[in-house]
């Protein structure tokens, strides 16, 4: 799964996946960097030039290489890459310099490296969706492709399959013949990968039926897949339902069946939960919201809310039902502490020296991005919590959350305070009392105003300049936040 697939998940799950992916290069060879989630624009500036590519790669263009491949009797492999792709860089340092790989290409193949940022038209023509992707050609025509980090042994195994004519299509046919249950059956993970590959190959009807069978049978055959079923698999099903009407119709039938079970005598909360997840898959938010509005004031629905709360809250947030979210929060301080623990875990992970790219500069850039993501994600989650409490008229609790959250920000407490105010404004909760949050606050562990007598004149001047720049930037940011609050308050006071 690539990072691009995290977008349909909750912010907490997205953060966890982001952290896992960044640290997974050395241990998870299936990871591939999505081309639509590049890092900051300057992340590749310190990279070495393309001439530093492993010698195994030819200087041929894609067009020239494919033309030559029509008659040379060899296998052409096009590696899609980017300077910011960690797994790609790792392969350049290991796989593509492996002696056995180099020898294979000397006698049997040609390899070229295609930078998707430098050659976007070629990338589009090859339908590149993630990196690294290796595309194999025979006689000028694509015959197979693989995605994700591959060791030298993995790559040679794949190249051997290409030599023997074992393409993705032929391997797919063999897997489709495997029984769904009993001896020789694929595992549920393998079956889910099969459904995903069918979808990627455009075989949407088969993919839909595989996913539908998995939805109905996965937990019966492998109960440990309960989390995967309603997260990763539900996300893949959602992509299909969004793009193909027949898939949406099939999954709607699953939803309707779950609804009937949830209404039958002896009904289970699991059926209600399935119904809500399937509503997400087919994009029927209205059905879940209507159920919520009927049940939210019913004391007998308390147990049901406990079972589905982590699916309901993101839905309510998407629809800006801030007050409803605020009324569901049982212990705001515990929620803030939980978010803080997640942030601290990511901060600790960002300090790891093993980011896996093999390039110290890129490692540092990725560590800094991860650290910034962790802090920003915590401020946003604290802001949502604060705004929802205000919207639910839990003002005193909101005040305590604000004080605690600001005190937790060890980088710049003003950034946390401004995040709280921004969230309150978005939730329609702009009010005069928010001005108190935007007051000047000292930086934690700020350098002393008095110069260090051990510093040289140049060092003192540099420190004073940096301090002045920081003070000016913080003052400008503070003034902009106050201006935004003033505007929001004035708009809220205007009669409709």
Query: What tokens appear for 46 in the block?
Result: 């310190």
- Phi, psi dihedrals of residue 495, rounded to the nearest 5°: -65, 145
Alpha-carbon distance of 262 to 269, in angstroms, equals: 7
**Do 425 and 484 touch, CB atoms closer than 8 A?**
yes
Please count the CA atoms within 13 angstroms of the CA of 242 that sit on its side-chain side.
10
Comparing C-alpha atoms, which of 89, 77, 92 is closest to residue 161? 77
Boundary-marking domain end, from 275, 293, 319: 319
Alpha-carbon distance of 393 to 222, in angstroms, equals: 45
CA 206 to chain centroid: 27
Asked if pLDDT for residue 31 goes beyond 50, the answer is: no
C-alpha distances (whole Å) from 256 to each of 38, 219, 274, 436 are: 39, 19, 10, 51
Boundary-marking domain end, from 137, 166, 195: 166
Degrees, nearest 5: CA angle 234-238-240: 120
The reply to whether 231 and 310 lie within a common domain is: yes
Q: What is the pLDDT of residue 450?
A: 59
Alpha-carbon distance of 181 to 194, in angstroms, equals: 15
Q: What is the pLDDT of residue 40?
A: 43
The reply to whether 69 and 160 lie within a common domain is: yes
Alpha-carbon distance of 195 to 186, in angstroms, equals: 12
Mean pLDDT in residue range 179-184: 92
- Phi, psi dihedrals of residue 205, rounded to the nearest 5°: -65, -45
Q: Please report whether residue 22 resides in a domain.
A: no
**Do 88 and 33 touch, CB atoms closer than 8 A?**
yes
Put the strands of the sheet holding 109-115 in their side by side order: 109-115, 75-81, 133-138, 141-147
**H-type helices in 435-456, by residue range?**
none
The reply to whether 92 and 217 lie within a common domain is: no
The reply to whether 291 and 332 lie within a common domain is: no
Percent of the chain with pLDDT over 90: 63
**Do 388 and 428 touch, CB atoms closer than 8 A?**
no
Q: Please report whether residue 2 resides in a domain.
A: no
**Do 126 and 112 touch, CB atoms closer than 8 A?**
no
Quote the strand ranges of 253-296, DSSP E: none
The reply to whether 336 and 474 lie within a common domain is: yes
Question: Between 24 and 482, whose confidence is greater?
Answer: 482
Q: Tens digits of per-residue pLDDT, 435-475?
A: 999 999 998 876 555 556 666 666 666 666 667 778 889 99
Number of structural domains the chain divides into: 3
Q: Any idea which residue has 């560590």 for tokens?
A: 367
The reply to whether 392 and 246 lie within a common domain is: no
Q: Mind giving me the DSSP string for 96-116?
A: GG-HHHHHHHHHHEEEEEEET
Q: Which residues contact 294 (CB under 8 A, 6 or more apart)?
A: none
Mean pLDDT in residue range 284-291: 97
The reply to whether 259 and 350 lie within a common domain is: no
Dihedral over alpha carbons 23, 27, 32, 37 (to 10 degrees): 0
Q: What is the pLDDT of residue 16?
A: 40
Q: Please report whether residue 40 resides in a domain.
A: yes
Asked if pLDDT for residue 37 goes beyond 60, the answer is: no
- Domain containing 127 equals 32-166
Residues labelled catalytic = 85, 88
Alpha-carbon distance of 214 to 220, in angstroms, equals: 10
Among 284-293, 399-408, 462-471, the minimum mean pLDDT is found in 462-471
Query: For the domain that residue 162 is a member of, what is the CATH number?
Result: 3.40.30.10
Q: Tens digits of per-residue pLDDT, 337-375?
A: 999 999 888 877 766 545 555 567 767 777 788 888 899
Asked if pLDDT for residue 489 goes beyond 80, the answer is: yes
Dihedral of alpha carbons 216, 222, 223, 224, sign: negative
Among 44-48, 250-254, 393-397, 401-405, the minimum mean pLDDT is found in 44-48
* 265 burial level (CB within 10 Å; 0-12, 13-18, 19+): exposed
Mean pLDDT in residue range 210-219: 97
Question: Between 492 and 155, whose confidence is greater?
Answer: 155
Average pLDDT, the chain: 85
Asked if pLDDT for residue 415 goes beyond 60, the answer is: yes
The reply to whether 368 and 470 lie within a common domain is: yes
Q: Please report whether residue 420 resides in a domain.
A: yes
Q: What is the pLDDT of residue 461?
A: 66
**Do 118 and 129 touch, CB atoms closer than 8 A?**
no
* Strands 75-81 and 109-115, sheet pairing: parallel
Boundary-marking domain end, from 319, 347, 366: 319
The reply to whether 135 and 281 lie within a common domain is: no
**What confidence category does residue 27 fall into, taking pLDDT thresholds of 50, 70 and 90?**
very low
The reply to whether 180 and 265 lie within a common domain is: yes
Dihedral of alpha carbons 414, 416, 422, 425, sign: negative
Q: Please report whether residue 4 resides in a domain.
A: no
Q: Please report whether residue 12 resides in a domain.
A: no
Beta bridge partners of 80: 114, 133
The reply to whether 294 and 443 lie within a common domain is: no
Q: Please report whether residue 180 resides in a domain.
A: yes
Q: Tens digits of per-residue pLDDT, 308-323?
A: 989 999 999 999 999 9
Q: Which residues of 229-258 are buried (b: 16+ CB within 10 A; e: fewer)?
A: bbbbbbbbbbbbbeebeebbebbbebbeeb
Peptide bond into 54 cis (omega under 30): no
Mean pLDDT in residue range 70-85: 94
pTM for the full predicted model: 0.70
Q: Please report whether residue 332 resides in a domain.
A: yes
Alpha-carbon distance of 316 to 326, in angstroms, equals: 10
The reply to whether 307 and 385 lie within a common domain is: no
């Amino acid at each position: 799964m690539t990072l691009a697939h995290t977008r349909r998940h909750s912010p907490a799950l997205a953060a966890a996946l982001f952290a896992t992916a960044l640290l997974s290069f050395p241990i998870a060879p299936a990871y591939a960097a999505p081309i639509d989630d590049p890092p900051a624009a300057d992340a590749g500036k310190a990279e070495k030039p393309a001439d530093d590519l492993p010698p195994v790669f030819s200087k041929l263009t894609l067009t020239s290489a494919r033309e030559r491949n029509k008659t040379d009797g060899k296998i052409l492999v096009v590696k899609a890459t980017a300077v910011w792709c960690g797994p790609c860089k790792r392969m350049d340092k290991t796989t593509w310099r492996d002696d056995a790989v180099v020898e294979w290409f000397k006698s049997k193949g040609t390899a070229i490296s295609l930078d998707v940022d430098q050659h976007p038209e070629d990338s589009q023509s090859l339908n590149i969706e993630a990196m690294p992707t290796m595309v194999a050609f025979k006689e000028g025509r694509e015959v197979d492709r693989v995605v994700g980090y591959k060791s030298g042994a993995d790559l040679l195994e794949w190249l051997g399959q290409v030599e023997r004519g074992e393409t993705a299509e032929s391997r797919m046919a063999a897997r489709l013949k495997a029984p769904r249950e009993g001896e020789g059956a694929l595992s549920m993970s393998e079956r889910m990968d099969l459904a995903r590959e069918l979808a990627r190959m455009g075989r949407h009807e088969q993919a839909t039926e595989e996913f539908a069978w998995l939805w109905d049978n996965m937990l019966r055959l492998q109960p440990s897949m309960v989390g995967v079923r309603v997260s990763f698999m539900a996300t893949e099903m959602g992509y299909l339902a969004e793009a193909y009407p027949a898939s949406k119709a099939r999954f709607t039938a699953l939803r309707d069946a779950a609804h009937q079970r949830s209404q039958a005598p002896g009904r289970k909360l699991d059926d209600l939960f399935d119904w809500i997840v399937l509503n997400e898959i087919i994009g029927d938010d209205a059905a879940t919201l209507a159920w919520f509005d009927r049940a939210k004031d019913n004391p007998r629905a308390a147990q049901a809310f406990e079972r589905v709360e982590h699916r309901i809250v993101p839905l309510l947030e998407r629809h800006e039902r801030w007050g409803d979210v605020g009324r569901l929060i049982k212990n705001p301080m515990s929620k803030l502490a939980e978010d803080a623990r997640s942030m601290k875990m990511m901060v600790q992970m960002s300090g790891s020296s093993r980011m896996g790219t093999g390039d110290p500069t890129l490692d540092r850039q990725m560590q800094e991005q991860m650290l910034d993501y962790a802090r920003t994600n915590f401020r946003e989650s604290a802001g949502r919590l604060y705004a929802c409490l205000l919207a639910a008229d839990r003002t005193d609790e909101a005040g305590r959350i604000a004080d605690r959250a600001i005190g937790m920000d060890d980088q710049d407490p003003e950034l946390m305070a401004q995040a709280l105010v921004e969230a309150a404004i978005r939730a329609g909760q702009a009010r005069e009392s928010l001005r108190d949050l935007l007051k000047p606050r000292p930086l934690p562990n700020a350098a002393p105003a008095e110069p260090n007598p051990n510093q040289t004149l140049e060092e003192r001047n540099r420190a004073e300049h940096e301090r002045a720049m920081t003070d000016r930037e913080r003052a400008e940011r503070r003034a902009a936040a106050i201006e935004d609050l003033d505007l929001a308050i004035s708009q809220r006071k205007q009669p409709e």
